Amino acid sequence: AGKAGTRDALNAGTGAAGADAAGGAVGGAADYMAHLQVWLQEHKEYPRRARRRRQEGMALLAFVMDRRGYVLEHRIRQSSGHSLLDEEVLALIRRAEPLPPPPPEISGERIRLVVPVQFFLR
C-alpha cells in the first residue's frame, strides 16, 4: 500500500502545508495547496468498477515530497471505505509526479502534506 515510511513521519501533516509552512506568507501556501488540489484532480481517474458499483467516498492521502515535486513517501491516512478507490488514490500520486514544486514560502527540503481525494458520482 504505497511506499513504506514510518507512521510518525507522515502523521505531522494536517490537511494544509506542514508546520514548516506556517511562516509569514500564508497566501503563498494557501495558493499552492489550491493549485496542488487542482493538479491532483486533473490526474485522478474514477475506477470503472467503482463507478459500476456506485462506490463513493473520500480518502486522506498523506505524503512527503521533495522541493522538486517528487514523492518520497505516501500512504492512505484515512480510507475512503472502498479498496478500489483507495487503490486509485495510491496510483494517482505516482501518476501525478512530479507534483508542482512548492513556493519559497513553504520551507524545508521535505514537505509533509495531507490532502483529501474525493470520489463522488454526479
Residue-averaged pLDDT of the chain: 84
- pLDDT per residue over 27-37, tens digit each? 788 999 999 99
| pTM of the shown model | 0.77
What is the pLDDT at residue 122? 86
Whether 110 and 6 have beta carbons less than 8 Å apart is answered as: no
Q: How far apart are CA 26 and CA 83, in angstroms?
A: 35
Whether 72 and 7 have beta carbons less than 8 Å apart is answered as: no
- pLDDT per residue over 76-106, tens digit each? 999 999 999 999 999 999 999 999 999 999 9
Cis preceding linkage at 103, omega within 30: no
Who contacts 77 (Cβ-Cβ below 8 Å, separation ≥6)?
10, 11, 13, 60, 61, 62, 114
What percent of the chain is modeled with pLDDT above 70?
79
Q: What does DSSP assign to residue 19? A: G
User: Max Cα separation, the chain?
Assistant: 46
Pairing of strands 110-119, 71-78: unpaired
Banded pLDDT at 74 (limits 50, 70, 90): very high
